[in-house]
Structures are given as C-alpha cells and as structure tokens.
Amino acid sequence: MTILVTGGAGFIGANFVLDWLAHGSETVINLDKLTYAGNLQNLASLEGDGRHVFVHGDIGDAALVARLLAEHKVRAVLNFAAESHVDRSIEGPGAFIQTNIVGTFNLLEAVRGYWSALPDAERAAFRFLHVSTDEVYGSLDADAPAFTESHRYEPNSPYSASKAASDHLVRAYHHTYGLPVLTTNCSNNYGPYHFPEKLIPLVIHNALAGKPLPIYGDGQQIRDWLFVTDHCSAIRRVLEAGRLGETYNVGGWNEKANIEVVRTLCAILDELAPRADGQPYARQMTFVKDRPGHDRRYAIDARKLERELDWRPRETFETGIRKTVQWYLNHQDWVRNITSGAYREWVERQYAA
C-alpha cells in the first residue's frame, strides 16, 4: 500500500511525512515543487529509507500525477501543497491563484481519472484528503463563538481566498463525481522545520541575531495555536476514520494574542539562550505598520473531531512552544542554510515600515 503526499517538503507536509513513517511502514510518494519554502533538508533523516520516494514536480502537472498514481498503486492522496503566507499573497497574489486553485484543480482531475478506473473494492477504499486553513472563515469579533465546520466562508486575503476556492473545488468533486474526499481546516501551526517568515520562527531567528522583533499594529491579533505534530496525528485519524465528504476543524484550544506569543518566546529565550549583555530579549520588540486587511481573531471549535473521531491535541501551548524554541536552538545549521540572501531581502522589504 502507498500514499501520495503533495507538498511534503514544506513545513506541515514534511512533519507529516516524518510522523507517518514513524508510525508505520507504508510507503510515501512525496511530490514537491521545491519553491522557496520547500526544503529537502527537512527530510534528511529519511535519506536511504526505501519507504520514502521523493519526486520533484508540480501538482499542476496532471500527466506526472497520473503516472505516479498508477505506477505506485496509490490508495490515498494527501494534499498539503499550497502557497501559504498571507504577506506574500498581498505582495504577489498570482502564485497563490496558480498553485492553490489551478494546481488543486489539475490534481483533482488526475486523481479523478485514476480513481474512476480502479476496481470496485479499491475505489471504495480510496481517499483524497485536502489540508486547508481556518483563514477561509474570515475574522471573528473578540466575543464571537469559535469557527465551526458550518461557519460561512469569508476569506479576506488573496491567500485565504485561494484556499477557500480550493476547498470548494474539493467539495464539488465529491458531490458531482463521488470522489471520496475529506477536508481539514487547521489553526496556526508551529513547531520544527517552520520557514522563518512566520511569526514564531521569525521571532526566534531575529532574537538570536540581535535584530528587531517586528509586531504588526498593536499586537492584539489573536490566533489559535496548534503544535504541528498534533496536527499530523489529527490528519492520520481523519484519513483513517473520517466520514466521506466531511470537513473537520483541527485546533489546539490555545488562543493567544501575537504580542503574548512574542513575550513568551522572549522569556523562554532569556532562560535557554540569554543575551551576552544580560538584557532581556523583549528589548528587541518593535511595532511596525499593520498588514493590510489584517484579520483580528481566529478561533477553532474542534469538538466535531473529538466527538466523532476521539481526537484531542496532546500539547498545550506551554509545552509545544518550549519544544519549538529548543528545536531551533539545537538546529541553527538548518536555520542558517535556509535564510538565504533572498530571504533576508524579503524580510527587510516587508518590515521596512
């Protein structure tokens, strides 16, 4: 038996591949385009492992996907492939439309052709799991109930709009063609192998480098934080027992304001890697102009996943964030290798204001 993982060299995808192979022997075909956030170093521990087959390619290449499905007799596809950074989607939305919408469409078409030709028993057992985000639901008021799976889609950025479109395509392929799909909408992930453009790895990287710790606006934007390994276990559970055509929200039950997250990171770094001058890292906190259209609050209600599939996250924010900081302190070579000149130029341009 074999699964196909798309985007498996990125942050969440790579963590999933590592988690999957740590829990079983089923082969993973890993298809990744290796854009700036895709990094084969994330998978270095699998070198020489016959259970992991890496293929450099695009989900938009329907012929390649069709060949991989048939050649490896794939029984499930897990779609992690996506452009995912809101700031980059504001700066250049075209890549998000191409990958997240057109790419998902081409992937679905290739999968539909393969699935339609399978023998009855294999068709019944086949699954297509689409990994999405809570950002498709829009923004919540401070006192509003958390997002449930029936919440109306109200995306507010080019990124979230492109992910919303891909969710709708997946739903349509189930209802129109009967494709056996599952969708997960997760909250903000954090943990090992996170590209340092997102808040948590960016703060850790800048703090250790003695650079400003940029905080958008007043820093009171609230997110629900989910440790990436918990997210991986939720996906495995949904793939195993989720009801076809259903959406499952995956959250960490950890709502935190961005400024609180930064202060927590500074406090942990003060303890584990204190500054040479003895000053607290919080002195490096700097407020910058807010992101255009910045959503104020996301919150995930994951009770459906708990009720139907008996899943809850194992990590609290306090345990997960400490593990994350320690991982980055232990893997500074990984950070140095990916923070290229192009990355530095983008960060400087993004936070120049």
Of residues 32, 58, 134, 230, which has the active-site annotation? 134
Of residues 159, 190, 193, 351, which has the active-site annotation? 159
Q: Compute the average pLDDT of residues 158-185.
A: 98
The per-residue pLDDT for 347 is 54
Overall fold of domain 2-191+225-254+294-315: Rossmann fold (3.40.50)
- Asked about 240 being catalytic, the answer comes back as no
Residue 323 dihedral angles phi and psi, to the nearest 5°: -60, -40
Report yes or no: 21 and 28 within 8 Å, Cβ to Cβ: yes
Task: For residue 332, give both structure tokens.
Answer: 């500074």
User: What are the sequence ranges of the domains in the chain?
Assistant: 2-191+225-254+294-315
pLDDT band at 349 (very low <50, low <70, confident <90, very high): low
- 336 vs 276, 284, 328, CA distance in Å? 20, 21, 11
Three-state secondary-structure class, residue 59:
coil
* Alpha carbon distance 148, 251 (integer Å): 11
Give me the residue label for tokens 């779609």. 79
- Asked about 281 being catalytic, the answer comes back as no
Residue 79 dihedral angles phi and psi, to the nearest 5°: -100, 100
Of residues 83, 135, 230, 255, which has the active-site annotation? 135
| Sheet containing 188-190, strands listed edge to edge, beginning at the edge strand earlier in sequence | 188-190, 222-227, 255-257
Residue 278 has pLDDT above 90, yes or no: yes
- Asked about 120 being catalytic, the answer comes back as no
* Alpha carbon distance 254, 304 (integer Å): 17
Q: Range with the lowest mean pLDDT among 218-222, 255-259, 322-326, 336-340? A: 336-340
Q: pLDDT for 116-137, tens place per residue?
A: 999 999 999 999 999 999 999 9
Indicate the pTM of the whole model: 0.94
